[in-house]
Structure 1
Amino acid sequence: MTATDSGVLSNIQAELSRIEREENVRILYACESGSRAWGFPSRDSDYDVRFLYVHEPDWYLSVFDRRDVIERPISDLLDVNGWDLRKALRLFRKSNPPLLEWLQSPIVYKDQPEATNQIRGLAGLSFSAKACTFHYLHMARGNYRDYLQGETVHSKKYFYVLRPLLACAWIERFESLPPMEFDTLKDTILEPGELRTAIDRLLERKKSGIEMKAEPRIGVINQYLETQISYYEQQAPRMPDSGQSVDDRLDPLFLSVLRAAWRET
């Protein structure tokens, strides 16, 4: 885990413990999922805490569907929500990128390796280059359309288009899940030159906490974004589809993790 203010860490740990008590669940894994995990938080960035949990075994013995997410009101400091493990494993079958990203976050607040190592062991098998590319392309296209098409733009939104497009390029090149850290993506995918220099300057401003208000668009970055969006709109349907089916492994994994989580109760 990277450095996190000790006071904030205590608040996060206290909130996770409170959720366990109030919801009668066991949290298996909790991590940072937003700009702090990506490596470019602003001075006022909140903490995007995401977690996986299990209810006690009898909770699952019902003919009715039950709520499978836990969400807490967003504050100035914390944005905390999580998924029930059964929901997470169902999404895992579809090579769900947010879940796969959580499992490789560089900032981990809580971890039960007995559970998470089993899940990570299946990640490479279920990874779908096509599904993940479509996910990142959709994210990039939406943010570009909403925030970066005018002559004046909100500069910090560049990162919310750059990161998913660099992720698409990583998937195309390596056929594996891209890392969360923006610097790793940038330095691996982009050659030194005008584009990378412009991105580095923007990144330095973002990390320094300088307020990034509306300002003139950055032509070299916009040109790259438009070109890459167009390219991956053509390329995404041609990407390799799902890897191996892991369906026969999910029930045993779920039961194993569920029993281990409540073994001492």
Structure 2
Amino acid sequence: MRDIILQKLKEIEQEHEVKILYAVESGSRGWGFESKDSDYDVRFIYIHKPEWYMSIKEKRDVIELPINNLLDINGWDLRKTLVLFKKSNPTLLEWLSSPIIYGERTSLVNELKELLKDYFSSKSCIYHYLHMAEGNYREYLKGEEIRVKKYFYVLRPIMACMWTEKYGTQPPMLFEDLMNHLHLDKELVNEIEKLLVIKRSGNEIDKQKKINIINYFLEDKICYYKEYVKTLNIQVSDDIDALDNLFRSTLHEVWGL
């Protein structure tokens, strides 16, 4: 499958006349709880030739391939990426910490990781993951039978909130890294670990009877973080010079300006 993904990325470069700077796995495979039939969610950052940016015309800054049952590929232009980085966009920050990397050129990602301490916002991070957890809980975890994958679509964002509160940094991508550093109740962890085994050995549509200890935990944390996030007053850098310089230096490095 990796060879197919790399070929698709090469075709994107040729068709759109761009260079892909960084390509990773997102979604359940990046989070470490894929099922046997999980698809591949490939995300990438790309850069156009310099003349593409020298226009007042608004242009599309996203490349998306049609989604099929196995593969979902899309990416963001570098300028869009840097604007979102300045806003501490959690989706982008997850890409930067993915454990599955399909390709990387230039020093872009390493430099962004160095800059993250100045731009990371705990408030933005917790709002993002709380919104995700609350919406998925309301939509998928209210019945007596629940799709196993949906439990993780609430558990992971809630644990991301807990990580951000505890450590003040971007949460790790891998679910088990999150869980193992949060000192959760042993009985709760046991139930989650059983669920992980079911998720990894089963299919995307598999269901499970409601697990009360997990539901109670999630309800409690959602209520807590809805109030906690209101108390945060996080100051982050408003400086764009470092990101402008990174944009220019990457253009130079890739296209030999």
TM-score strictly above 0.5 = yes
Over aligned residues, Cα RMSD in angstroms? 1.4
Give the counterpart of 2:173 among 176, 180, 189.
Answer: 180
Q: Which residue of 1 aligns with 2:193?
A: 200
The answer on 1:235 being equivalent to 2:228 is: yes
Count of residues paired in the alignment? 257
Write out aligned runs for 1:62-77 (5 A).
62-77=55-70
Give the counterpart of 1:214 among 207, 210, 213.
Answer: 207
Q: Normalised by the size of structure 1, how large is the TM-score?
A: 0.93
Point out 4+ residue stretches in structure 1 off by more than 2 angstroms.
209-216, 242-246
| Structure-2 separation of matches of 1:155 and 1:105 | 23
SS in 1 for 2:181: helix
Write out aligned runs for 1:1-265 (5 A).
8-209=1-202, 213-263=206-256
Change over 3 Å in CA distance of 1:71–1:211 after alignment to 2: closer
Matched AA of 2:16? E
Matched AA of 1:143? N
Contact 2:43–2:74 (Cα < 8 Å) also in 1 = yes
CA deviation vs aligned residue, 1:21-57 (integer Å, no higher than 9, x gap): 0000010000001111111110011111000001000
| Structure-2 separation of matches of 1:45 and 1:150 | 23
Change over 3 Å in CA distance of 1:240–1:171 after alignment to 2: farther
| Structure-2 separation of matches of 1:237 and 1:260 | 42
SS in 2 for 1:253: helix
Contact 1:122–1:246 (Cα < 8 Å) also in 2 = no
Shift of the alpha carbon at 1:100?
Answer: 0.8
> Structure 1: where are the runs of 5+ without partners?
1-7
Change over 3 Å in CA distance of 1:175–1:211 after alignment to 2: closer
Change over 3 Å in CA distance of 1:141–1:82 after alignment to 2: same
